[in-house]
Chain A
Amino acid sequence: MNSFKGNISHINTKGNLSIITIQINDKIKLKSIVVETPKTASFLHINNEIAVLFKETEVIISIDQNSKSSVQNSILGTIKSIEKGALLSKVNLATSAGDLTTIISTDAITDLNLKIDLKVTALIKLNEIMLSNT
């Protein structure tokens, strides 16, 4: 599980759902959608420090830094290490927020020609990010 700490910078609530924006550092801002509102979850308030959690298997790697997609969260990083398995491989990225781990198919490593020191973008859908009270 990847975990970063940040502060809530924006909350957009409609009905039972909220999109929470979390400022991780001056470069990285992540958005998460939750079935909570500031009324149902006391930790949802501006400036509160929280942890964002997401599974390694939910991270998409893109080698095109300007590609457009519906994915709202992107983190720039450099490949630090690749651990190849038969079907799945683990790719570790160094980012401005710290290390980030992704699990992708081993075929994708070959297809994208992923190598150590390559600059890539990690993409995470907003419904894959979980929040945890620190």
Chain B
Amino acid sequence: MIALNIQKELQSTDGKMLLNLNLRINKGQLVTLYGPSGVGKTSTLRMLSGLLKPGEGVITVNDTTWFSTDKDINLKPQLRKIGYVFQDYALFPHMSVLQNLEFALHKNQKSNIITELLTIMELDQLKGRKPDTLSGGQKQRVALARALVQKPEILLLDEPLSALDSTIRLKLQDYILKVHKKYSLTTILISHDIGEIYKLSDWVFVLKDGLLIQEGTPSEVFISKKVSGKFKFTGEIISIEKEDVVFIVRVLIFSEIVKVIAQESEIQNLGPGDKVIIASKAFNPIILKLE
């Protein structure tokens, strides 16, 4: 269990903001911090990892105090057993994939974890390549593997997939889930992508102006209260095409594309890339057994 009760004055675009959070994250969960830019999500991860010192407060992880202003405790970042993945990969450009991973090893740490990670992340074929010869998705797989070399207990993912296109993003989400489960990690994700949050996370914390304003499962936070429809999914609009007096809207839901007939009034403020809820009554779908 991670218990974080911290205050920190931050400089935001609109001037000073007080980040005042009290979060509890159970061991083994994958949780998401959700909210607009500049509400303190990245600062929260930086304080948990020890890269930024909170103004005041307490951070305990599995009953060990990592930070406490009262007790004057501030555990060094390298002792916190945290893996960190950023949006911009942060790989060493002059080193190969393998060297990037080896560089992350502790002194005296056996290198068999690297062989294991190369296999899990399907990087074996790429291990001799330099980062600038890799695609964005491949680089992020390396960055994810590197974050796991020191066998962290906590994985912090700061918008790791936001620079990638949707097909690659879906693939990377699978890798994240795979390592989260395999290494029994407690993972904290920052994401703006509701479909992604839905697929990956057990719990969502909604932040606004430095405060926790809502928490719950993804369905509690994002959809349950809006409509009573029982056949309900979140997705991303791929295309909108006019056909006769109606519009055919293609929506990506997880990895499937569905088509929905819509009216002009429904699509007025919608375009490709927008996140939407698709809902129907529980009475409409038919069920067929797959042979």
Q: Quick one: which of A57, A84, A127, A130 has the most chain B CB within 10 A?
A: A130
Given A33-B283, A130-B228, A133-B226: A85 and B266 within 8 A (CB)?
Answer: no
**Which of A1, A53, A131 contacts B263 (CB under 8 A)?**
A1
In Å, the complex CA distance between A90 and B263 comes to 10
Q: Which of A5-13, A34-42, A61-69 contacts B (4 or more CB under 8 A)?
A: A34-42
Asked if A128 contacts B265 (CB within 8 A), the reply is no
In Å, the complex CA distance between A53 and B282 comes to 14
Q: Mark A70-93 against chain B: 1 for CB-CB distance below 8 A, else 0.
A: 000000000000011111111000
Q: Mark A39-57 against chain B: 1 for CB-CB distance below 8 A, else 0.
A: 0010100000000010011
- With a cutoff of 8 Å between Cβ atoms, the chain B residues found around residue A87 in the complex are 244
**Which of B228, B246, B265 contacts A131 (CB under 8 A)?**
B228
- Give B8-23 interface residues, CB cut-off 8 Å to A: none
Count of A residues near B, CB < 8 Å? 26
- With a cutoff of 8 Å between Cβ atoms, the chain A residues found around residue B284 in the complex are 127
Instruction: State whether the Cβ of B1 lies closer than 8 Å to any Cβ in chain A.
Output: no
- With a cutoff of 8 Å between Cβ atoms, the chain A residues found around residue B263 in the complex are 1, 56, 90, 101, 103
Instruction: State whether the Cβ of A132 lies closer than 8 Å to any Cβ in chain B.
Output: yes
Instruction: State whether the Cβ of B181 lies closer than 8 Å to any Cβ in chain A.
Output: no
Asked if A88 contacts B227 (CB within 8 A), the reply is no
- With a cutoff of 8 Å between Cβ atoms, the chain B residues found around residue A34 in the complex are 228, 281
Asked if B246 contacts A35 (CB within 8 A), the reply is no
In Å, the complex CA distance between A51 and B227 comes to 9
Q: Quick one: which of B226, B263, B279 has the most chain A CB within 10 A?
A: B263
B90 to chain A, nearest CB (A): 44
- With a cutoff of 8 Å between Cβ atoms, the chain B residues found around residue A85 in the complex are 244-246
In Å, the complex CA distance between A80 and B226 comes to 31
- With a cutoff of 8 Å between Cβ atoms, the chain A residues found around residue B230 in the complex are 35
- Residue on A with the closest CB to B279? A130
Asked if B227 contacts A127 (CB within 8 A), the reply is no
**Which residues of A pack against B, CB within 8 Å?**
1, 33-36, 41, 43, 53, 56-57, 83-90, 101, 103, 127-128, 130-133
What are 6 A-B residue pairs whose CB atoms fall within 8 Å in the complex? Answer: A33-B283, A88-B244, A90-B246, A101-B263, A130-B229, A130-B281
**Which residues of B pack against A, CB within 8 Å?**
225-230, 244-246, 261, 263, 265-266, 279, 281-284
